Every structure is written in structure tokens, then in C-alpha cells.
Structure 1
Amino acid sequence: MKLKKYTDYALRVLIYTASVPDGELANKKDISKVFHISENHIGKIVHELNKAEILQTIRGRSGGIKLSKHPSEINIGQVVRLMEGDFEMFECFSKDDNYCIITPACKLKNIVNVALKEFLKVIDQYTLEDLLENKSELQNLMEVDN
């Protein structure tokens, strides 16, 4: 299984934002530079996370991005579900675009569905705080002033 880059980038945005020293704001330009991702793409991700009330954006000259919640309240499974949108891993997962003739007898969908549920069950056990256990090392790698 491969998650979308969009999901990967969203988790990076959250890790970066949570790694900024207390009282400071992250900004799209710095995140873009650190991860070599276009600022426009980061902007779309920030917008989505802001809509979901995971990030808060502050406009203006000294504006930027900060977490809307404490890292312990941001569930990784929730973020993955939000950014992925759906988990249609095979054609048979789609209600509208399934033209596979063996769907009624095929056992693969059930097996993959069980695996997907187990995957989500595992990542639901983690929060953003868990991803920050080595915060100083992350800050050094991202060159965030700590």
C-alpha cells in the first residue's frame, strides 16, 4: 500500500510546525525550502489542515502557521484519513467504477479490507506528540532554530 504524497507532506507540515520553538510561528516558505516541496503545494495542504482545525493560520506581516491543538490531541490516523479521502485500493472498492466481473465471488477485497482496517487501527494509536519524541534531532535536521 502506498499513501499519497499529499498525506506524507501533510504529516511533514505538522511535524515541522510542532517543532518550531514555543511562541514562534512556522511559515509556508520555510517548510517548502526544508522539504523541497513547492510553496503552492504546501499552501494547499495548510489550507486543508486549517479547514479541519488541525492548524491555525495567522494572516498579516508577522503571521504564519501554528497547531490548533496540542500535539497529543492530533491523531495520526485522523490526519491520514483526512488527506487520503478514500482508500479505494482496487477497482472493486469503488461503488461507481467497478467493472470487474469477478467481484461477486472474489475474496481479495475482503482480505485487503481487513488489512486496511488493521493498518488504520495501528496508526490510530499514535499522535503527533509520538512523532516528536526526538524533537531536538528533528529540529537539527530541519534546521529549525531551537
Structure 2
Amino acid sequence: MKLTSYSNYSIRVLMIAAARFPDLTTIGDVAAAFAISRTHLVKCVHQLGSWGYIETVRGNGGGFRLARPAPAISIGEIIRRTEEGFDIAECFREETNTCPLIARCRLRPALQRATAAFLDTLDDITLDEIASNGDDLLKLLELSPPSCRENKLTA
């Protein structure tokens, strides 16, 4: 199974927002740090904002920051929202399935269990866990740490 760039970039945006909280981060900062398209990031930030994971501040000195506590954001929840679906085989979609083995196939249920296990594992991982080394991440990306750690957003 391979996640889309959209999921990957959305998780990166959230990790940086968690690491830099409560400071604002700009799309330009993230685009430069990861050498990825600002256009793609605008879509990610907009959608994450509309889902309530981040808040955006417009205008000069604007940017985005976490709107929910990092321990309350499940990676599985984000992946489910950012991926179109988890049809890893043709037979997962009955409307497009052409496999004549579907009635007796034992692979399909096994793949469905594997997909469920994958998502269950991600459900148990929080943004706080994957961004707990935020200072190290920010240093690697040459991004400034938050100006104040005392305002850390927690559950």
C-alpha cells in the first residue's frame, strides 16, 4: 500500500505545526523546508483548516498553527480523510470488479483484514507521538523552534 503525496504532505504540515506550536508557520516555510510545491501545500492547509485540525491566520504575519491538541489527532483519522480509498485490489469495488474468482476467493478477505490492521495501527498513533522530537525535526529542516514552549497545546 502506498499513500498519496496529499496524505504525506498533510502529515508533514501537521508535524511542523505541532513542533512549532504555538507559533505560526507559513506555507512558504514548509515548501522550502521539504522542497515541495506551494500549490500542493495550499490545498493541504486549506483542507486541514476546514476539518478543524489547524487554524489559519490571513494577512501580513499570518500562517497556520494547530487548532486541536496534538495528542487528540490520530494519524489513522488523517489518513482516512486524505486518501480516496483503500481498494488495494480490483475486487474491493464491486461496481468495477471483473474477477471471476470473487465468489470463492480467499485472498480478498485476507487483504481486507490487512488493510483494517494497517488503519487500526495508524489509529493508535497520535500526532503528538510522531512530532515528539519536534526540536530535532525543526533543526533538520532549518526551521526556527517555537518562541515559547509554555503554551503547548495538549489534550
Q: Which runs of 5+ in 2 are unaligned?
A: 146-155
The answer as to 2:70 corresponding to 1:71 is yes
CA shift, 1:133, in A, is 2.0
Compute the RMSD of aligned alpha carbons.
1.2
Partner of 2:12: 12
Q: Which amino acid aligns with 1:2?
A: K
CA shift, 1:33, in A, is 0.7
Alignment check: 8 A CA contact 2:75 2:122 kept: yes
The answer as to 2:55 corresponding to 1:43 is no
CA shift, 1:97, in A, is 1.3
| Equivalent position SS for 1:13 | helix
The number of residues matched between the two structures is 145
CA shift, 1:116, in A, is 0.9
Partner of 1:139: 138
More relative contact order, 1 or 2 (CA 8 Å, 6+ apart): 2
Distance 1:20 1:143 in 2: 12
TM-score, normalization by structure 1: 0.93
Partner of 2:25: 26
CA shift, 1:20, in A, is 1.6
| Equivalent position SS for 2:41 | helix
Distance 1:55 1:138 in 2: 19
Alignment check: 8 A CA contact 1:21 1:145 kept: no
Q: Which runs of 5+ in 1 are unaligned?
A: none
Distance 1:20 1:29 in 2: 15
| Equivalent position SS for 2:120 | helix
Partner of 2:153: none
| Equivalent position SS for 1:95 | coil
Runs of 4+ in structure 1 displaced over 4 angstroms? none
Distance 1:8 1:42 in 2: 11
Query: Residues 66-86 of structure 1, C-alpha deviation per residue, up to 9 Å, x if partnerless?
Result: 111011111111001001131
Quick one: percent identity of the two aligned structures? Answer: 33
Query: Residues 74-108 of structure 1, C-alpha deviation per residue, up to 9 Å, x if partnerless?
Result: 11110010011310111111132112222122111
TM-score, normalization by structure 2: 0.88
| Equivalent position SS for 2:47 | helix
Q: Which amino acid aligns with 2:16?
A: Y
Distance 2:96 2:82 in 1: 21
